[in-house]
A and B are shown apart, each in its own frame.
Chain A
Amino acid sequence: KAGVTQTPRYLIKTRGQQVTLSCSPISGHRSVSWYQQTPGQGLQFLFEYFSETQRNKGNFPGRFSGRQFSNSRSEMNVSTLELGDSALYLCASSLYGTGGLGNEQFFGPGTRLTVL
């Protein structure tokens, strides 16, 4: 079974631009969660999508948005980029997103975003 894939792996943008990151979950997984990882703040939850609906949301400004398609693939978008948005963005997929045995989250390799 192929793992979670994320594209692109690296991205360089300038302040004010917008960016779209993509995540393909493991086949059959319906929940996709996004996280931001920075040296200062660690791993922070952005949002979770399940069956094309946002089910959970973290404490990030409205510039961060996402969506999920019918095939469970997900995209996240950051508009009006700021220097502080430089981070590793991770997505994770699971069968249903809820707890319980067998519903662990599998992480992708991440997209490294650098904002200049």
Chain B
Amino acid sequence: AQRVTQPEKLLSVFKGAPVELKCNYSYSGSPELFWYVQYSRQRLQLLLRHISRESIKGFTADLNKGETSFHLKKPFAQEEDSAMYYCAFLYNQGGKLIFGQGTELSVKP
């Protein structure tokens, strides 16, 4: 079955440290993957998607089909990056996103 796994429930780093939020997926075809972010008391919003190959707010994510991973990285974390991050997989080319359990990122001063 298609599945997205985020192994860390909580990731705590100090400001200025590198950050890597892990995401692994299980799917035999060509996936379309996303990272969504939810800041405190705000709605869920798209951070980035693998097909756009952009860097948003300093975050990047590379799709590694061999390792079936889509890890989110940022070289220098900022306190405003503290939020809940969800990796998601678009299923069947329709409006069905399959989400991982989420990783809470806490950036300490």
Using Cβ atoms and an 8 Å threshold, which residues of chain B touch A3?
43
- Contact surface of A with B, Cβ cutoff 8 Å: 3, 31-33, 35, 42-45, 48, 50, 55-56, 58, 90, 92, 94, 97-101, 104-110
Using Cβ atoms and an 8 Å threshold, which residues of chain B touch A110?
43
- CA–CA, A60 and B17, complex, Å: 41
Q: Are A56 and B44 interface neighbours, CB within 8 A?
A: no
- CA–CA, A33 and B102, complex, Å: 19
Interface residue B28 (Cβ < 8 Å from any Cβ of A):
no
Q: Are B95 and A55 interface neighbours, CB within 8 A?
A: yes
How many Cβ-Cβ contacts under 8 Å join chain A to chain B? 69
Q: Are B99 and A42 interface neighbours, CB within 8 A?
A: yes
Q: List 12 A-B contacts (CB under 8 A).
A: A42-B100, A42-B102, A43-B99, A48-B96, A56-B91, A56-B96, A58-B96, A92-B97, A98-B94, A99-B32, A107-B45, A109-B43
- CA–CA, A31 and B99, complex, Å: 18
Using Cβ atoms and an 8 Å threshold, which residues of chain A touch B97?
33, 35, 43, 45, 92, 105
- CA–CA, A98 and B94, complex, Å: 4
Q: Are A99 and B98 interface neighbours, CB within 8 A?
A: no
Specify the chain B residue showing the minimal Cβ separation from A58: B96
Q: Are B52 and A48 interface neighbours, CB within 8 A?
A: no
Specify the chain A residue showing the minimal Cβ separation from B41: A109
Contact with A along B64-76 (1 / 0, CB 8 A): 0000000000000
Using Cβ atoms and an 8 Å threshold, which residues of chain B touch A107?
43-45
From A35, A50, A90, A99, name the one whose CB has the most chain B CB atoms within 10 angstroms.
A99
Q: Are A99 and B93 interface neighbours, CB within 8 A?
A: yes
Specify the chain B residue showing the minimal Cβ separation from A47: B96
| A99-B51, A100-B51 as given contacts; A50 in contact with B95, CB under 8 Å | yes
Within 8 Å by CB of B98, from A45, A101, A104, lies A45
Using Cβ atoms and an 8 Å threshold, which residues of chain B touch A108?
43
Interface residue B85 (Cβ < 8 Å from any Cβ of A):
no
- CA–CA, A55 and B86, complex, Å: 24
Specify the chain A residue showing the minimal Cβ separation from B38: A107
